[in-house]
């Protein structure tokens, strides 16, 4: 069956059936990573809603908002193939009233690591996610571990603001050679793609070490070998819940997070390690 395409709150209310609802928020240009989230949603709820919205609020000046891939017809086909009941694809004008005043602040946790490179990004992300929760009113929502800091911040928002939605994290889907799937991968030339592989290779090199400082050093060595074609933004080992950098000695889980630019394409990746 074709998914119902909802453009606004009224459409969403009309499309609502009985039973539990799982929401998968996306910016479209759907790939196998998104499909795995849709399947995780499918296995946990009676109805799946996929939102497709390139959120202007989470892009900074000079970032790729205008050239972000928009492939709505192909996305609809993916949703149809996955048996998605509702695709929520609002227009930016309907999401953001010109008079709006109130938005969310992600706090210190949103200013470190990815937030330090993209000021305001996580404030914009949390604002749209809370709006999507309020519009769709899902029982649960599925997010990828690929965007580990985003997932941690959404969990934090739900806890801090008592948002009645269960948050489910889903593992990162990769190409056979290790490259994490991303809507932005389509911008990579074959040569760029080779360079981009340094990110996942660095994660594997880090994961082979057992002490935080050596984890970082091993990952950094791989990333620096890919310079200058890979312009490194960061390589950090952080607490999965707070994104504060871990200090030695450390026991427990930590996220090894890397980010860099290949040409004009910015890529991020991470791995969860245990100490
Ligand atoms: P995006 O459309 O890039 O904003 O991503 C929408 C959702 O898909 C987010 O929860 C992402 O973390 C998730 N996602 C993106 N890439 C992957 C991937 N390779 N594996 C699993 N989930 C992903």
pLDDT higher than threshold 90 for residue 1: no
Whether residue 47 lies in the annotated active site:
no
pTM: 0.97
Nearest to 77 by CA among 87, 67, 69, 68: 87
pLDDT higher than threshold 90 for residue 30: yes
Going from the Cα of 34 to the center of ligand 1, the distance in angstroms, rounded, reads: 6
What is the CB < 6 Å shell around ligand 1? 26-27, 33-34, 36-37, 143-144, 146-147, 170, 172-173, 180-183
Strand partners, 271: 256
Going from the Cα of 99 to the center of ligand 1, the distance in angstroms, rounded, reads: 31
Burial of 108 (0-12, 13-18, 19+ CB in 10 A): exposed
Of all atoms in ligand 1, which is nearest to the CA of residue 172? 20
Cβ atoms of residues 75 and 28 within 8 Å = yes
The structural domains of the chain, ordered by start, are 4-170 (3.40.50.620), 183-269 (3.30.1300.10)
- Closest CA to ligand 1's atom 11: 144
Continuous segment of H or E residues that includes residue 155: helix 148-160
88: Cβ–Cβ under 8 A, 6 or more apart, which residues?
6, 7, 11, 12, 49, 50, 51, 52, 53, 132, 135, 136
Count how many Cα atoms sit within 13 Å of the Cα of residue 205 in the half-sphere of its side chain. Answer: 20
Going from the Cα of 33 to the center of ligand 1, the distance in angstroms, rounded, reads: 6
pLDDT one-digit tens code per residue, 2-23: 999 999 999 999 999 899 999 9
Mean pLDDT for 144-155 is: 98
- What phi and psi values does residue 165 have, to the nearest 5 degrees? -135, 135
pLDDT one-digit tens code per residue, 196-220: 999 999 999 999 999 999 999 999 9
């Amino acid at each position: 069956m074709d998914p119902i395409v909802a453009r606004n709150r009224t459409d969403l209310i009309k499309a609502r059936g009985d039973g539990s609802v799982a929401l998968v928020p996306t910016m479209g240009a759907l790939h196998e990573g998104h499909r795995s989230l849709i399947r995780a949603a499918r296995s946990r709820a009676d109805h799946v809603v996929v939102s497709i919205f390139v959120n202007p609020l989470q892009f900074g000046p000079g970032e790729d908002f205008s050239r972000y891939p928009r492939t709505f017809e192909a996305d609809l086909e993916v949703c149809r193939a996955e048996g998605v009941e509702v695709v929520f694809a609002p227009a930016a004008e309907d999401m953001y009233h010109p008079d709006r005043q109130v938005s969310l602040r992600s706090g210190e946790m949103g200013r470190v690591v990815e937030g330090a490179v993209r000021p305001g990004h996580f404030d914009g992300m949390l604002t749209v996610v809370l709006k999507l929760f309020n519009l769709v009113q899902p029982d649960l929502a599925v997010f990828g571990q690929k965007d580990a800091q985003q997932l941690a911040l959404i969990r934090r928002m739900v806890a801090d603001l008592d948002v009645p939605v269960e948050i489910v994290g889903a593992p990162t889907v990769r190409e056979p050679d290790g490259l994490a799937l991303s809507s932005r991968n389509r911008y990579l030339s074959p040569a760029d793609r080779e360079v981009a592989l340094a990110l996942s290779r660095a994660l594997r090199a880090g994961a082979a070490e057992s002490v935080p400082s050596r984890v970082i050093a091993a990952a950094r060595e791989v990333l620096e070998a890919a310079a200058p074609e890979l312009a490194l933004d960061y390589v950090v080992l952080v607490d999965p819940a707070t994104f504060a950098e871990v200090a030695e000695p450390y026991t427990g889980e930590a996220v090894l997070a890397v980010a860099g630019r290949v040409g004009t394409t910015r890529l991020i990746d991470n791995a969860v390690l245990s100490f």
